[in-house]
Amino acid sequence: VNEARNGERSWIGASRISGELQSNKPCAVIVLYGANDLINGDGYDTVLDSLRAMIVAARANQTVPVLATLTPMTGPAFLWSGSVIELNAMIRLLAAEQLVALADLEQAFGPLPELYLTDDGLHPNEFGNDLIAETIAGVFLGPAEPD
């Protein structure tokens, strides 16, 4: 079930996650937030507090939370790339602190992230969406075998 909202910031996601979890009753939830926060000038603490709140809500609903790092930003979105790298380091620490699985999308996109992004340098293209799905599946199934 995809309950993502275009342009949503993490604090809004944190305010509605309990209702979504109760309505949908998923066994797991992928938590991928922060890009819109950075673009709108929200601080790292806002994002991290929101992610923590979503982890708590998931656990209260007996849902397995999985954190995801942000995809890299390139092209017109490059302005925020340094902030994304910093926030991703914090998300990795939060996942370790909270003993939560991590889908490391930044690492998956590798040294040429523009191959997986649309011209805006922020949103994934078809190949990027496939890579995100494979990375998240790897959290549950283990890494894919090379061809």
Question: How far, in Å, CA of 6 to CA of 136, rounded?
Answer: 20
Residue 140's identity, in one-letter code, is F
pLDDT tens for each residue of 17-69: 999 999 999 999 999 999 999 999 999 999 999 999 999 999 999 999 999 99
pLDDT at 97 over 80: yes
What pTM did the predictor assign?
0.94
Q: Which band of pLDDT confidence, cut at 50, 70 and 90, is reported for residue 142?
A: confident
Please report, rounded to a whole number, the percentage of residues in the chain having pLDDT higher than 70: 97
The pLDDT score that the predictor gives to residue 147 is 63
